């Protein structure tokens, strides 16, 4: 794995996927029933956590609060989407960080699916066979559905977030709560990956809800680099006895 050579990074960076959402539950039910549409009455940005998702977010908050004071997040950033903010609010409360100090950033929002939004795999194949064929030919990294985004589009907006981290948060301990594709696209950037490597990671497993991916910089080491410490750690939920859930957010169609 390549190591970023710059030292102008936060001391620690945690990137966390939101807790289980009502959309995750509805998507699982739709896929199981082989229906074409996911039955949910909110737009994606307004989809809340499920009851289990709230339990997971409280377990996440307790885990961060148990860290030594000098190792807890002192900066919190989150997606504009409701499920991410509902995940991060208990964490902020547990750390004594005022909710008004949370940095809410639209660049951390979920990947936009355009015309494929709310469709299951079966629904995409039945309703948009030409798009399904195009996606299979182009690959999910570059495929952009009409009105939506490719992974490259998401990575482009996250590049500017990394510049904010390096400009405004050098030496801070930053927590970002966002979405599955955001976690993987940050990994692509921060670990200097290529298309094949990040798609292999995505293909092997979904990012667990409320799991933690952590990067850190050892300033005591003259050769220290900003590097990955752990990926998709589900320990906060396991320690709290909360179920670990891994359903995808994406109506991604055939892999």
Distances (CA, A) of 57 to 68, 78, 88, 106, 168: 19, 14, 7, 21, 27
3-class state of residue 158 by DSSP: helix
Alpha helices in the chain (DSSP H): 22-33, 51-65, 82-95, 121-127, 129-138, 151-168, 180-190, 195-204, 235-240
Note down pLDDT in tens along the chain; length 255 residues. 555 566 789 999 999 999 999 988 888 888 888 899 888 889 999 999 999 999 999 999 999 999 999 999 999 999 999 999 999 999 999 999 999 999 999 999 999 999 999 999 999 999 999 999 999 999 999 999 999 999 999 999 999 999 999 999 999 999 999 999 999 999 999 999 999 999 999 999 999 999 999 999 988 777 778 999 999 999 888 887 888 898 777 654 433
Would you kindly state where each structural domain of the chain is located, as residue ranges? 12-20+49-112+149-233
Q: Give the residues across from 12 on adjacent strands.
A: 173, 216
* CATH 1.20.1250.20 fits domain 12-20+49-112+149-233: no
Residue 223 CB neighbours (<10 A) = 7
* Cα–Cα distance for residue pair 220/237, rounded to 1 Å: 32
Contact 56, 249 (CB under 8 A): no
Decide: pTM greater than 0.85. yes
Cβ neighbours for 194, distance < 8 A, ≥ 6 positions apart: none
What does the CA dihedral 27, 183, 20, 50 come to, rounded to 10 degrees?
-90
Is 43 annotated to bind ligand? no
């Amino acid at each position: 794995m390549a190591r970023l050579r710059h030292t102008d990074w936060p001391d620690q960076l945690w990137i966390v996927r939101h807790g289980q959402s009502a959309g995750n539950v509805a998507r699982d039910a739709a896929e199981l029933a082989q229906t074409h549409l996911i039955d949910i009455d909110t737009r994606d940005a307004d989809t809340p956590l499920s009851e289990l998702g709230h339990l997971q977010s409280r377990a996440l908050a307790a885990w961060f609060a148990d860290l030594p004071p000098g190792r807890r997040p002192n900066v919190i950033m989150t997606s504009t989407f409701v499920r991410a903010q509902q995940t991060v609010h208990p964490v902020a409360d547990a750390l004594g960080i005022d909710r008004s100090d949370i940095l809410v950033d639209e660049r951390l929002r979920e990947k936009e699916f355009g015309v494929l939004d709310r469709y299951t795999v079966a629904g995409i194949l039945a309703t948009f066979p030409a798009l399904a064929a195009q996606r299979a030919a182009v690959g999910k990294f570059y495929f952009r559905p009409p009105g939506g985004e490719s992974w490259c589009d998401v990575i482009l907006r996250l590049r500017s977030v990394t510049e904010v981290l390096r400009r405004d948060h050098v030496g801070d301990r930053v927590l970002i709560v966002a979405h599955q594709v955001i976690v993987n696209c940050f990994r692509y950037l921060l670990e200097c990956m290529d298309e094949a490597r990040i798609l292999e990671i995505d293909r092997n497993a979904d990012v667990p809800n409320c799991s933690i991916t952590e990067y850190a910089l050892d300033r005591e080491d003259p050769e220290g680099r900003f590097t990955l410490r752990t990926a998709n750690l589900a320990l906060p939920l396991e320690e709290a006895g909360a179920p670990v859930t891994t359903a995808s957010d994406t109506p991604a169609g055939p892999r």
